[in-house]
Amino acid sequence: MGRLSSWRGWNWVRPMARSRRCGGRDRATRWQPHIGRWLLAARDAEKATKAQKRREKLAQQDAEREQRIALEQAAMGPSDKALEEEHLQELLLPLKLGIREIRADGHCLYRSIEDQLAQAAAAGSADEAAAGADSVPDHLALRRLAASHIRSHADEFLPFIYDEDSAGSPGEQLESYCQELEGTAVWGGQLELGALAQALKKQVKVFAAGMPPVTLGDEHAGEGVLQLCYLRHAFGLGEHYNSVVPLGYTDGTRRSTGRTAE
């Protein structure tokens, strides 16, 4: 009995001991997720601090670079762009005109004409303005209109398009020119302005620094005037057109009253 009691007691105690040891391991295990989260939080905070330092360093480098550029530009004097804009303002201000910036995407000439037509449509009564706004062609429609007019007046435009040193007959070259005009973002110029003046039956007046305004479609002056300005140095890529509007209308929130410069 003694041995049996001793054995039973031993058998009773060992499971209890195992249970306490297991319980000890469970308590340690319960803390592991908390410790892991603390470590992760500390590591994330360290990463955030390093990232912030990198951002601050980059911002400082950008500021220093901008300062160097400004100093270099000041040492070089006014740029061609600044001088051109200054001369253009001197030309427009006495006429109480200003410049409305047009997107430089290859369609600037046509977008400028579109803006001028929208102003003219908005200058009438409320009903006329509503009807006119719906009928104003966009820049792509104006491209197609110019190409169509050139095709239908080939004899008038062909001398400015045909190149003897290029491949193709005169008719083929003209058709290729028109397809590029209406199907791509190729820049427009005086030829396209002349075609649009005739097709729209409007006078087109182009202001440029250092020269008097150039007008096209003078026979349609009584039907309204579309006013643009031409800049040679507006962008690094080259020439650009903007819309010319009465002062106070350059932000696009107000529309022209229909009056134009004399």
pLDDT in tens, the chain (262 residues): 444 444 444 444 444 444 444 444 455 555 566 666 676 676 767 766 777 777 888 888 888 888 877 776 666 656 777 888 888 989 999 999 999 999 999 999 999 999 999 999 988 655 545 555 568 999 999 999 999 999 999 999 999 999 999 999 999 999 999 999 999 999 999 999 999 999 999 999 999 998 899 999 999 999 999 999 999 876 665 789 999 999 876 665 443 333 333 3
61: helix, strand or coil: helix
Contact 239, 232 (CB under 8 A): yes
Classify residue 213 by burial, with Cβ atoms within 10 Å: 0-12, 13-18, 19+: middle
Cα separations in angstroms, 249 against 84, 97, 110: 21, 9, 19
pLDDT for 195 = 98
Please give the positions annotated as active site. Answer: 105, 108, 240
pLDDT for 126 = 53
Q: Compute the distance between CA of residue 217 and CA of residue 196 in angstroms, rounded to an integer.
A: 9
pLDDT for 136 = 94
pLDDT for 11 = 45
Cα separations in angstroms, 80 against 89, 99, 206, 236, 247: 14, 18, 20, 11, 24
pLDDT for 22 = 46
For CA atoms 112, 117, 123, 129, give the dihedral sign.
negative
pLDDT for 95 = 94
Classify residue 137 by burial, with Cβ atoms within 10 Å: 0-12, 13-18, 19+: middle
